[in-house]
Structure 1
Amino acid sequence: MSPAASTSSSSPASSESAKSYKGEAKLEKYDTSAGTYEPGTSEHPPRNVPKPIKPANMNENSVAGLYSTVAFYAASFQYFVTTGDRQYLDQVKVDEEEDLSEDDEAAQYIAGGVAWFESPKIVITLTTDQPTKSGSGYTWPSTFVFDYGKNIHYAQGQTVPMPSTGTEKPQKGYMTGKYTGGVWEVTIMIYDLSDNS
């Protein structure tokens, strides 16, 4: 192998390790063909909710692949709590211990048009440039916001203030990622449930 070939073959790894992913894990592409998004009101649930598009590199065994999985997970979770439809969330492998049963129950009401949040926002912010290798996987310090909005609206016309859970403010924790079976398995671990006031 020539020195030039050796240099070029090592460049992707070095550029990968030098890239900063710090900040909000944002999905780059959504399907907006349904029309302009309208937040929920007391009269109707959110309309034309943008559909997350799975990144091409999401299943790569790389930090970029892990980042894309985290971004798609955040977008898919937001779509799930907005529409009650978990088809995108089901495309992300999560730790079997992660319990979404409460969310699934609420999703049945949302999907059925019985109740809805105005405009929920799910944000995962990575607080370091890169994750840390931890055993056979990675750990990525993060903060999490699960803001369901100010009100819950019901089809019968009732509006109820959304109780504060503390999760509408950034909660400290970390994402874990383990590459297994050709995909990333991710888990949210929150260790700061204080009100951060």
Structure 2
Amino acid sequence: MNTINPLTRRSALGLIAVTGGATLLAACGAQPQATSGGSASGSASGSASASASASKTARTDYSGVAVLEGYTSKPSDYQPATRTEPSKNAPVPVKPAVANENSVEGLYQSIAFFGAAMEYYMCTGKTEPLRECALDNSELKSMIEPASGTLGEKLIKGEAWMHDASVTITMLSAQPEREGDTYNWNIRLTMDPGEFIASKDRVQEAPSESDRKDEVERTLHGVYENGAWKLTGMRASSSSSSASAS
């Protein structure tokens, strides 16, 4: 088995973004009726709190790593990929009912589900959970219908796989900021393909953990529309300060 050029953050993201010029992915846009409230922030729009009709107990601080309700990213029977075989027993993320609530909890879980679906895609090449995400259709298409010859296409066909892929979304504020019907939430997306990307005839090694990871910060825009959250904001015209992924 031959070894090819070292895996860099640029090549890792190029694998995920695959087409459409998207730096990573994109989240989407929709129209919420979630009530505003909570502590005021520096923004004139103020922060949003969960709708009283939705959540049992309103949560006030969502900062930190987004956790999908009822989901274990790496269960005990999960087996990372080897240089000769893809990973095994990656759990399929299920979109929780609360993700469709018109509440901040619903928006939060929609974002968490997006991250879990991305990780599942990187681990398995399967796009079914991504198709359930609140992503804008034009940006989702570039993920589930990658261009011919790209790493994304090889992932979907099972011709390439990642060692131990992980996706982490970190919420950078306790609550989203509201501007009319739009809720804006700053997040950090961190993607790590693991120690290598492999196929049947080659292995692309990562020289170090810092070089293989890609981390970008974005502001996701959530709108509640037709009984579900829609998100936009992952696609950016320029690369983040931490990594370039064109």
TM-score (norm 2): 0.65
How far apart, in 2, do the equivalents of 1:125 and 1:50 lie? 21
How far apart, in 2, do the equivalents of 1:53 and 1:122 lie? 16
Partner of 2:242: 195
Q: Secondary structure of the equivalent of 2:213?
A: coil
Cα 1:102/1:52, change in 2 over 3 Å:
closer
- Deviation string, structure 1 residues 86-134 (Cα, Å, up to 9, x no partner): 1111111212443652674334322332111111111111011100112
For residues 5-154 of structure 1, what are the structure 2 equivalents within 5 Å? 16=58, 19-30=60-71, 36-98=77-139, 101=142, 104-105=145-146, 106-154=151-199
- Deviation string, structure 1 residues 121-164 (Cα, Å, up to 9, x no partner): 111110111001123210001111122223110123x2113599
Q: Secondary structure of the equivalent of 2:139?
A: coil
Q: Secondary structure of the equivalent of 1:20?
A: coil
Number of residue equivalences: 184
How far apart, in 2, do the equivalents of 1:118 and 1:135 lie? 43
Q: CA deviation at 1:176?
A: 1.4
Residue type at the aligned position of 2:205: P
Q: CA deviation at 1:30?
A: 3.4
* Structure with greater strand percent: 1
Unpaired segments ≥5 residues, structure 2 = 1-51
How far apart, in 2, do the equivalents of 1:72 and 1:81 lie? 14
Unpaired segments ≥5 residues, structure 1 = 1-9
Residue type at the aligned position of 1:161: E
How far apart, in 2, do the equivalents of 1:163 and 1:96 lie? 35
Q: Which has the larger radius of gyration?
A: 1
Residue type at the aligned position of 1:41: T
Farther off after superposition, 61-70 or 97-106: 97-106
Cα 1:167/1:39, change in 2 over 3 Å:
closer
Q: CA deviation at 1:187?
A: 2.3
Residue type at the aligned position of 1:55: P
Q: CA deviation at 1:36?
A: 0.6
- Deviation string, structure 1 residues 5-44 (Cα, Å, up to 9, x no partner): xxxxx7988x53x521111111132389x97100111021
How big is the alpha-carbon RMSD for the aligned residues of Structure 1 and Structure 2?
A: 3.2
Residue 235 of structure 2 is aligned to residue 181 of structure 1: no
How far apart, in 2, do the equivalents of 1:69 and 1:142 lie? 13
TM-score (norm 1): 0.79
Q: Is the 8 A contact 1:45 1:118 kept in 2?
A: yes
Q: Is the 8 A contact 2:206 2:212 kept in 1?
A: no
Larger RCO (CA under 8 A, 6+ residues apart): 2
How far apart, in 1, do the equivalents of 2:170 and 2:177 lie? 15
How far apart, in 2, do the equivalents of 1:102 and 1:89 lie? 8
Q: CA deviation at 1:167?
A: 8.2
Farther off after superposition, 23-32 or 122-131: 23-32
How far apart, in 1, do the equivalents of 2:184 and 2:191 lie? 20
